Chains A and B, each alone.
Chain A
Amino acid sequence: MTTAQQDVIDTLLGQHQQVKMLFAQVESADGDHRQELFTELVGTLALHESIEQLLVHPLAEQELPDGDQVVPPRLAEEEDAKQALSALYELGVSAPEFEGQLAALRDAVSAHAEAEEELEFLRLREVTDPGELTRMAEVVASAQALLAQHLQAAGGQAPSPLAGPPDQVFERVRDLLGKADGSEVQR
């Protein structure tokens, strides 16, 4: 056995922490570093939201008694966040308005994450077969590995799959995850 034992909720909660950390890092960095960190942030959010949209939100909609009330607002927030990221990308990291808009997005994403954790994730654990959540974590892991392969294939040269306008990054990541194992990822 490998020394891994986690479910997809662990994975997503860990990504929330990673996103929170990246926001703080982008904010305190300058110049090229800020650009690099922002690219990381976009890629991480793209991966994270794609996993949620392909796997966890559908599960929540199905399993939670109030799933049809809990999930749609989350999806809307995710769409808003994508738009806000695109706006930030358009602005460029050195624009004077960047910091203010980044802070607004950070607060929104933080609130979104907290709502997900309390209304969706931790409750899902109570009503879902643990084996199912663990299996999903494995699917995510293999999808991430696939994504990493693509990144390495890009060899650090432009265009990396995670560089460019956020809506395109989101789309590419979603495609990749879908391909990871179509039937499985699509539940």
Chain B
Amino acid sequence: MTEQTEPGEAKQASLKPATPKPPAAKTSPARRPTAEAGAAQVAAAKAAPFTKAVPAKKAGSRAAPAAVAEALSRAERAGAAAAAPGGDAKVLQLDPHRMDKAGTELTTDQGIGVEDTDNWLRAGPRGPALLEDFHGREKIMRFDHERIPERVVHARGSGAHGYFQPYDSSLARYTAARFLTDPGARTPVFVRFSTVQGSRGSTDTPRDVRGFAVKFYTDQGNFDLVGNNMPVFFIQDGIKFPDIIHAVKPEPHNEIPQAASAHDTFWDFVTLQPETMHHVIWLMSDRALPRSFRTMQGFGVHTFRLVADDGTRTFVKFHWTPVAGVHSLVWDEAQKISGKDPDFNRRDLWESIEAGVYPEYELGVQLIAESDEFAFDDIDLLDSTKIIPEEVVPVIPVGRLVLDRNPDNFFAETEQVAFCVQNIVPGIDFTDDPLLQARLFSYLDTQLTRLGGPNFAQIPINRPLAPVRNHQQDGFHQDDIPLGQANYHPNSLGGGCPVVPGAGGGAFVHTPEHVDGIKERKRSETFADHYSQATLFWNSMAAWEKQHIIAAYRFELGKVEHLHIRERMVEHLNNIDHQLAVAVAAGIGVPAPAAGRANHGRMSPALSQAAMPGSTGVLGRKVAVLVADGVEAGSVQAVQAGLMDAGAVVELLAPVDGAVTTSSGEALPVTRAMNTVASVLYDAVVVADGEAAVDLLVNDGYAVHFVAEAYKHAKALGVLGTGDRLVQAARLPVFEPSDRVAGPSSKPAAGALDGVVFLAPAGDADTGFLAELITAIAAHRHYDRPVDGIAA
């Protein structure tokens, strides 16, 4: 911040027209003068509009300073974690299975050399094909059977290897799980991120829940934490799982729509099953549109248990928090990405790891003493549609997850990895959460069909690092060769082996618990409140998050053909918040409801994305620099170098690929042609300086649209010198008094310059300018801009 004012005095004293300060020497163009004294006061305080981009300010977040401090301490903890052995153990285990084709000769599956793989064996060059061609038949047979059933849900996924390392041994009081308590060891992991609804080949950026599944290859066996990027689920009892998934999936008669919840069956179901309301409002929020797998949280969803060596049990909720912060796309952008690059998130994950920008998450736990099981009078810990607000039970940081290696082969690893909720290690245990209990059955069961039999645990990616010895045998695709005569227990012919280690021998021991109940199909009455936490979520949102939620409900319900379903949803919304219901109704042709139940007014500031700005700045952010022949190379190259030094990915885009000729006649190589990409694939845009170049760009519809669209999507915009003519051509309210053709601007015009950084013509892109630009990009988005009237 260049102009931090002292509370109470400087603000009051500087009641004069806003004038931007150097280093961005350009006067802010046509900032709309506001008559109101209060507006002028704050406008003056913000006299250097470029400082508006501080992450803490981006969202009007109530928790901003605390959030930044939290993000920095998270980074510090991660930085302080010492390197430890063990992280590559899984990679080493996979090595013998890796098949390197370099320097080899073509054979059949039987190892027989192939004479020719281009021509089927025929009776004469124009004669009939011979059945005898074992190579031809094998090749076609193998091809015909390449596909396996895709996952019923979470079919679309992307995976990565990495490791988990606890910060210290502080959890040892609570759990016997060594991977959570030994800071001297890294536990290898394989993580798979996914969407839920779409098919395996569907887009990465639908409005959807994201899977966040982690397989820990611990020395005590595999632990699978099969979570999502939202902390609650649609349903309370797993018996409703087929119903919710049938409803959200493409409709059965025409298999439409792909990768979308915006259709009648989904909304028909959720409006008839109000326990879905909390998860649905998360789904309508920006959480459903992660910018990157690197910028979304993960949650274990259920309440689990930690079990200490002495048998003490503690309820636990698992949280993954990305060090890069929680950041999202805007909906218009997400839809366009689905066309421009449906692999957007997969590519981002892959390229980040290849570039050494390793995605990193902090594991946090909420711990609740077993004796406090009933301490909360408004939630039941066994109800997966509820959270425990972080303000009530704090999230304690315990370790870090780093993803540092891409898979060698998508199918062998990412597709064949089999996550099972039942995979659990000593020191952790389940609870009676009825959704969790159903998942314990489902995940094991589904692998049988998908992976063709019971031996899927022998597939290399699924094999534990811990030794496997038992009397399970045979079945399709048995890879192991058990030795010996005894395949039963107890035995004497095998020396009694494998020996049952028993309790105290390091075996998993189910939590001893007294269970007493009447056998009946009945939901607990403590699960009955379906609205309070949806209200809590709504109350906790920043204004821009609320507006995105309203827009999302309007979009989704706007695609629902049956009016009675829309009306039913508005009634539910009225139980969440009256103003939300009124605002949504206004967009979908439904009458506004009368005031409903009172909003309880409670909030959990930690739920807002504004509370998680991250600490990695522009690391891994993609910046497009628009150039053309005649460009001033000096400032472009300074910006390019400065951003890359800070860890950003910078691409020079020109009307055509190759190189552009700079104003001084040099060749400046470009990264790619502008029309092969789009602004939606970048986090920020910089417009280059140079009269001749800008002449070309203002007459290039792609370039004009590129700038307008990036601005509309609230992205940082760097304008170098005469590049401001392109901004003018894009009709941005930076220069216009209003973003609308007629009438007042749609939002405070003071926000028009948020995240827009100017450099004077022929100016020097010095460290001051770069700092402003980097701050603007690191803030991710600038949602207070008036953008409603921008055509893009």
Contact = CB atoms under 8 A, between A and B. Distances in A.
A44 interface: yes
Contacts of B603: 6, 10-11, 14
Given A17-B60, A24-B547, A111 B41 contact: yes
A37 B600 CA distance: 20
A91 interface: no
A152 B60 CA distance: 32
A33 B550 CA distance: 14
Nearest to A142: B601
Nearest to B605: A10
Interface string B655-681: 000000000000000000000000000
A33 B592 contact: yes
Nearest to B533: A3
Interface in A27-49: 27-29, 32-34, 36-37, 40, 44
Interface string B739-772: 0000111111110000000000000000000000
A41 B547 CA distance: 15
A103 B32 CA distance: 12
A179 interface: no
A183 to B, nearest CB: 21
Contacts of B586: 25, 29, 33-34, 36-37
A112 interface: yes
Given A118-B11, A151-B595, A156-B594, A1 B42 contact: no
Contacts of B561: none
Interface residues of B, number: 63
Nearest to B389: A3
A25 to B, nearest CB: 5
A100 B745 CA distance: 9
Residue of B9, B43, B377, B539 most packed against chain A (CB within 10 A): B539
Contact of B8 (A32, A103, A117, A119): A119
A66 B8 CA distance: 7
Given A40-B578, A111-B42, A14 B8 contact: no
A123 B604 CA distance: 20
Contacts of B38: 73, 77, 80, 108-109, 111-112, 115
Contacts of A140: 601
A40 B540 CA distance: 19
A122 B746 CA distance: 29
Interface in B587-644: 592, 594-595, 597-605
Given A25-B550, A104-B36, A115 B579 contact: no
B391 A6 contact: yes
Given A3-B379, A156-B595, A37 B583 contact: yes
Contacts of B39: 107-108, 110-111
Given A20-B60, A114-B42, A119-B8, A5 B592 contact: no
A24 B543 contact: yes
B378 A3 contact: yes
A11 to B, nearest CB: 6
Nearest to A140: B601
Residue of A25, A80, A141 most packed against chain B (CB within 10 A): A25
Interface in B479-512: none
A1 B375 contact: yes
Contacts of A82: none
Contact of B592 (A14, A20, A28, A32): A32
A44 B38 CA distance: 20
Interface in B543-594: 543, 546-547, 550, 578-579, 582-583, 585-586, 592, 594
Interface string A67-90: 001100100010010000000000
Residue of B8, B38, B375, B750 most packed against chain A (CB within 10 A): B38
Nearest to A36: B592
Contact of B582 (A37, A110, A160): A37
B542 interface: yes
Contacts of A11: 601, 603
Given A18-B579, A100-B743, A111-B43, A3 B598 contact: no
Nearest to A40: B579
B783 to A, nearest CB: 10
A3 B392 contact: yes
A22 interface: yes
B154 interface: no
Nearest to A108: B36
Interface in A7-22: 9-11, 13-14, 16-18, 20-22
A99 interface: yes
Interface string B374-396: 01111100000000110110000
Contacts of B583: 21-22, 25, 37
B473 interface: no
Given A25-B583, A119-B7, A5 B389 contact: yes
B392 A119 contact: no
A4 B36 contact: no
A141 B602 contact: yes
Residue of B62, B547, B601, B603 most packed against chain A (CB within 10 A): B601
Nearest to B62: A13
Nearest to B43: A111
B745 to A, nearest CB: 7
B610 to A, nearest CB: 9
A187 to B, nearest CB: 19
A87 to B, nearest CB: 13
B602 A6 contact: yes
B191 to A, nearest CB: 30
B543 A18 contact: yes
Contacts of A5: 389, 391-392
Nearest to B379: A3
A100 to B, nearest CB: 5
A110 B749 CA distance: 11
A37 B39 CA distance: 23
Given A111-B41, A144-B598, A104 B579 contact: no
B582 A17 contact: no
Interface in A140-187: 140-141, 144-145, 147-149, 151-152, 154-156, 160
B169 interface: no
Contacts of B107: none
A99 B738 CA distance: 13
Contacts of A32: 592
A96 B671 CA distance: 50
Nearest to B541: A17
Nearest to A147: B598
Interface string B505-542: 00000000000000000000000000000000001111
Residue of B37, B540, B578, B597 most packed against chain A (CB within 10 A): B37
Nearest to B751: A110
Contacts of A22: 579, 583
A155 B593 CA distance: 11
B34 interface: yes
Nearest to B9: A66
A75 to B, nearest CB: 12
A1 B12 contact: no
Interface in A98-133: 99-100, 102-112, 114-115, 117-119, 122-123
Q: Which 6 A-B pairs have the closest CB atoms?
A: A156-B594, A148-B598, A108-B36, A13-B62, A33-B586, A103-B744
30 contacts: A2-B376, A2-B378, A3-B376, A4-B392, A6-B605, A14-B540, A16-B543, A21-B547, A22-B583, A25-B583, A33-B585, A36-B592, A37-B583, A66-B8, A69-B8, A69-B12, A73-B38, A100-B743, A104-B35, A108-B39, A110-B39, A111-B34, A111-B39, A111-B41, A111-B42, A118-B7, A118-B11, A119-B11, A141-B602, A160-B595
Interface of A: 1-6, 9-11, 13-14, 16-18, 20-22, 24-25, 27-29, 32-34, 36-37, 40, 44, 66, 69-70, 73, 77, 80, 99-100, 102-112, 114-115, 117-119, 122-123, 140-141, 144-145, 147-149, 151-152, 154-156, 160
Given A22-B579, A110-B750, A118-B7, 4 more contacts: A1-B392, A2-B378, A9-B62, A32-B592
